[in-house]
Amino acid sequence: MATPEAQPAQTGVLRRVLMYGMLVLVAGLTWTIVHPFAAGLLWALILSVVLWPLHILIRGMLPRPMWLAPTITTTVMTGIIVVPIVLVIIFGLNEAGQLIRQLQDLLEGRSGNLEGLLRDLPYVGDDLAAGLLQLRAEGTILPAIVKANQNELVGFVGRVIGGLSRNLFELTICVVTSWFFFRHGEDLSEQAKRAIARTGGEYATAFIPAIRNTLRAVVYGLVVTAVAQGVLMAVGLWVAGVPYPLLLGLLTFLLSFAPFGVVFVWLGSGLALLSEQRTLAGVLLILYGFLIVSSIDNVLRPIFIGRAAKLPFLLVFIAILGGISSFGLVGLFLGPVVVAVALTLWRTWVQVREAQQVQAAP
């Protein structure tokens, strides 16, 4: 039988167990509910932090009513996101249609010498050329290929439609959530500061500027680098006489967000020129892509990300690669942010230890 003194202690332990169990249960249920919206919420947080200076400027010009400035900022943000996507789709579909028609002419023998190129390939050249001739004898090639791979194409179209629907849903969540972030951003920021200070102490508040500066630096660095590489690649392809330079420039813009993604564009285009016996143009395009287009990635991105976030180039490189491999496209931003917070934590801990040692020295 427990003594009266032991009963309050047992009751206190039981209360703590129940409290922590309730917290874990609530946290699990909350994550289950919020999980489908996590990507949209995270994008809204990133864009709100990046565009907060613009929102402050708009709010200074339009102080009343309180909903007007968030609405204008959210509209501008939506335009920044949607307009480039629409332009990419329009120009991409236009040039993709022309590319498909030229590909059909090449496969059916109305242009080029695909059969001769296939025969020149070692080991498998004759078999590929024979298969091409057989397809030509059976009729139109592209419909035959589509019919032979009907199930795979249906699955691919289904995945594309599903991906578009999911992205549209996440974009809607991002836009709606961003409005509330702009409207109540200062209150949310103050609450976050109090929570961080209560959890990690006064030194933990140093993480907030690190997160904010790193997010803005990563977004600015990635976007500026992608635009510069896309424009330079399109100009170089146009000068070299490569068809569809705009489409390939847009592809360069998209691939520039992934490390070494741009290489596939200029190297593939250069090899295509070499296969057409345009040796000088192919060599110059490969050199241009290696020395100019790809080198921009090594100059602009570290300047924006490394200096603003105070991260060494090696950590920036590791953070981007690790973020992409772990979280996908969002990892482009999460990777550098997490590494910047970890580095800030390390620096803060070192400074605190040194200050404690100095105070204890006397």
For residue 332, which of 319, 344, 345 has the smallest C-alpha distance? 319
- CB 205 within 8 Å of CB 197: yes
pLDDT score of 148:
63
Give the pLDDT confidence score for residue 240 in this predicted structure.
Answer: 85
Q: Record the pTM.
A: 0.64
pLDDT attached to residue 362: 58
Q: What is the pLDDT along the chain (362 residues), one digit of tens a residue?
A: 455 555 555 666 777 778 878 888 888 888 888 888 887 888 888 888 888 888 888 888 877 787 888 888 888 888 877 777 777 777 767 766 776 777 777 666 666 666 666 666 677 667 777 766 666 666 555 666 666 666 676 776 677 677 777 777 888 888 888 888 888 888 887 887 787 777 666 666 666 776 777 777 777 777 788 888 888 888 888 888 887 787 788 888 877 776 677 888 888 888 878 777 788 888 888 888 888 888 777 677 666 666 665 667 677 777 777 877 777 767 777 777 777 777 767 776 776 666 656 666 65
Each domain of the chain, given as residue ranges in start order, spans 38-184, 201-354
* pLDDT score recorded for residue 126: 72
Q: How far apart are CA 142 and CA 206, in angstroms?
A: 60
Q: How far apart are CA 179 and CA 348, in angstroms?
A: 34
Provide the token pair at 186: 């200062």
